[in-house]
């Protein structure tokens, strides 16, 4: 396509600006002939067909999402260098600075330095994958100190707002942690370095334009359709994602490359354990047999489920064959809305799964392990809050679920941290987003098939310590839980580059 040469004319300037929630591009001046503007649009649209532009011929502007700023700025600067346009004007400051000098007083571990170096080499965009307990917050502090740019840290929970504020203030040696802003949970304090929740970020996207560096904690949350605006609504040229397990079952983690940048560094638990940065640990599976009554009920329920699947797989009539694999269960859920037999099969599978995860013999094994580890600090995890409540009632162990009040949860965690409590039982609420005190024994009564949850629970016992950490899994033998346990372990030994 022929280039438009506006050099040395009054219409030669190309500009980028932020209007509300849009990145705005303009060539020429308002009121000038539309020809150069439409030529400009056709050229840039041809170069970036993946970007959705809104064309405003009357004002001679193009609108698009701010996330495309870096890409478009780089391209336009190259076009200026080729004399296709006279110059590029930015109507906002692309490098707002912090209002203090961030100085790191603590020594970084080698892998933390490597992570920041890899991120810097990648242009300050990308995802760092480190296990729970490996110091991802400190990696972010190193990146912030290196760039000294106005930074917004986006976190998934209100609890993490103050945790990050306290940690960063400590890393930077700030006498007053209020030098770091907090936005969320009723607070609306914006400063050049601010911690904000994902929920607040997507509601108040107008504030995203204040920052040149975005740090996404627990970055696997970002690709959710409801949270993407936290990245797409920002022009920030530097982006750092942090996660122990970025992979998602819905494969939306592939969007991280667009929203943050590619994965540029990964270390797994066993690697850091081998290098003595995390506690040595062992994983121990304990197979538990169903009772006769449980076995009879489980087999009967699974027979309903299998019969339906077999019938549909070989049907020649109204239904297409099931696709199988990872999509099989989702397909069954879809069909259950209009097919009573599909709904019956789905309910049977759910009841069978719940029965296997909650096998009565697991509490008997739990009692044995608690006696064995009477003097250890133990965190017990269950997929179901009903089991958490039963453990609390039977063994008088403090429990935390989504129903636990914030002040009560804080008190329980403080007492566990001080050693006043040595045992704690919880459901999914402690998987992430909560600063859980260190323990040396993790005991999983039941869990789902995702490696994310498994790595998060393993991470609760991996902080460096003299003794060996142990993660026990109680698995109902000859049930679907056996394969689920295998799948969730796969992510713990993923190869790294």
Q: H or E element: which one contains 126? A: strand 125-129
φ/ψ bin of 137: left (φ > 0), alpha (ψ from -120 to 50), beta (otherwise): alpha
- As given in the structure block, the two tokens for residue 457 are 């629970």
Q: What are the distances in angstroms from CA 357 to CA 245, 298, 437, 445?
A: 24, 11, 26, 7
Q: How far does CA 61 lie from the centroid of its chain?
A: 35
Computed from CA positions of residues 367, 372, 373, 374, in that sequence, does the dihedral angle turn out positive or negative? positive
Identify whether the C-beta of residue 305 lies closer than 8 Å to the C-beta of residue 349. yes
Domains 110-267 and 281-290+359-493 share a fold: yes
Q: What are the distances in angstroms from CA 131 to CA 155, 257, 491?
A: 17, 20, 11
pTM above 0.85, yes or no: no
CA gap 144, 138 in Å, rounded: 10
CA gap 414, 436 in Å, rounded: 9
φ/ψ bin of 133: left (φ > 0), alpha (ψ from -120 to 50), beta (otherwise): left
Please return the burial class of 324, using the count of CB atoms within 10 Å of its CB with bins 0-12, 13-18 and 19+: exposed
CA gap 162, 233 in Å, rounded: 24
Q: What are the distances in angstroms from CA 359 to CA 71, 296, 320, 351, 413?
A: 54, 13, 36, 12, 28
CA gap 192, 102 in Å, rounded: 12
Looking at the DSSP bridge assignments, the partners of residue 80 are none
Q: Which residue has the tokens 């494969």?
A: 251
Query: Going residue by residue through the chain (497 aa), what tens digit of pLDDT does each one get?
Result: 334 343 433 445 788 999 988 999 988 654 444 457 788 888 899 999 999 999 998 888 999 999 999 999 999 999 888 887 788 889 999 999 999 999 998 999 999 999 999 999 999 999 999 988 889 999 999 999 999 999 999 999 888 999 999 999 999 999 899 999 999 988 999 999 999 999 999 999 989 999 999 999 999 999 999 999 999 999 999 999 999 889 887 889 999 999 999 999 999 888 888 888 888 888 899 999 999 999 999 999 999 888 888 877 655 444 445 544 446 667 777 777 788 888 888 898 889 989 998 988 999 999 999 999 999 999 998 888 899 999 999 999 999 888 888 889 889 989 988 889 999 998 877 766 566 767 888 898 987 766 777 777 777 777 777 788 888 999 999 998 888 787 767 655 555 54
- As given in the structure block, the two tokens for residue 302 are 């699974």
φ/ψ bin of 478: left (φ > 0), alpha (ψ from -120 to 50), beta (otherwise): left
**Fold annotation for 110-267:** Rossmann fold (3.40.50)
Q: H or E element: which one contains 90? A: strand 87-90
Of 3.40.50.410, 3.40.50.300, 3.55.50.30, 3.40.1360.10, the CATH number of 281-290+359-493 is 3.40.50.300
Q: How far does CA 37 lie from the centroid of its chain?
A: 41
Instruction: Map out the domains of the chain as residue ranges.
Output: 13-90, 110-267, 281-290+359-493, 292-357
């Amino acid at each position: 396509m022929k280039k438009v040469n506006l050099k040395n004319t009054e219409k030669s300037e190309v500009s980028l600006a932020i209007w509300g929630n849009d990145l705005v591009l303009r060539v020429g001046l308002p009121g000038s002939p539309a020809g150069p503007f439409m030529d400009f649009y056709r050229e840039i649209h041809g170069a970036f067909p993946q970007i959705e532009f809104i064309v405003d011929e009357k004002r001679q502007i193009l609108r698009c999402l701010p996330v495309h700023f870096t890409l478009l700025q780089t391209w336009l600067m190259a076009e200026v260098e080729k004399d296709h346009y006279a110059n590029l004007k930015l109507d906002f400051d692309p490098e707002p600075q912090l209002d203090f000098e961030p100085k790191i007083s603590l020594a970084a571990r080698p892998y933390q330095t490597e992570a920041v170096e890899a991120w810097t080499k990648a242009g300050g965009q990308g995802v760092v994958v480190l296990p729970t307990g490996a110091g991802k917050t400190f990696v972010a502090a190193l990146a912030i100190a290196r760039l000294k740019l106005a930074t917004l840290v986006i976190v998934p929970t209100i609890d993490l707002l103050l945790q990050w504020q306290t940690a960063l203030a400590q890393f930077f040696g700030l006498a007053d942690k209020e030098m770091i802003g907090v936005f969320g949970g009723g607070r609306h304090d914006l400063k050049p370095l601010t911690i904000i929740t994902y929920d607040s970020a997507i509601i108040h996207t107008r504030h995203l334009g204040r920052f040149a560096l975005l740090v996404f904690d627990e970055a696997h949350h970002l690709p959710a359709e409801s949270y993407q605006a936290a990245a797409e609504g920002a022009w920030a040229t530097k982006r750092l994602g942090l996660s122990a397990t970025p992979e998602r079952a819905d494969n939306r983690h592939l969007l991280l490359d667009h929203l943050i940048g590619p994965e540029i560094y990964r270390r797994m638990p066993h690697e850091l354990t081998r290098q003595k940065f995390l506690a040595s640990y062992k994983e121990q599976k304990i197979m538990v047999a169903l009772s006769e009554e449980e076995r009879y009920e489980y087999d009967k329920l699974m027979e309903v489920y299998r019969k339906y699947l077999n019938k549909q797989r070989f049907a020649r009539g109204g239904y297409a064959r099931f696709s199988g694999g990872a999509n099989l269960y989702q397909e069954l859920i879809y069909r259950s809305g209009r097919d009573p037999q599909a709904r019956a099969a789905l309910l049977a599978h759910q009841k069978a799964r719940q029965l296997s995860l909650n096998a009565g013999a697991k509490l008997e094994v739990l009692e044995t392990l608690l006696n064995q580890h009477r003097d250890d600090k133990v965190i017990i995890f269950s997929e179901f809050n009903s089991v958490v409540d039963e453990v609390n009632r039977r063994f008088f162990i403090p429990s935390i679920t989504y129903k636990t009040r914030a002040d009560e949860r804080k008190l329980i965690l403080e007492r566990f941290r001080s050693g006043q409590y040595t045992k704690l039982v919880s459901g999914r609420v402690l998987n992430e987003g909560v600063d859980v005190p260190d323990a040396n024994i993790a005991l999983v009564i039941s869990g789902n098939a995702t490696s994310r949850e498994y790595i998060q629970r393993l991470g609760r016992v991996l902080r460096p310590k003299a003794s060996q950490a142990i993660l026990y899994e109680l698995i109902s033998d000859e049930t679907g839980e056996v394969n689920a346990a295998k799948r969730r372990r796969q992510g713990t030994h993923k190869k790294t580059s």
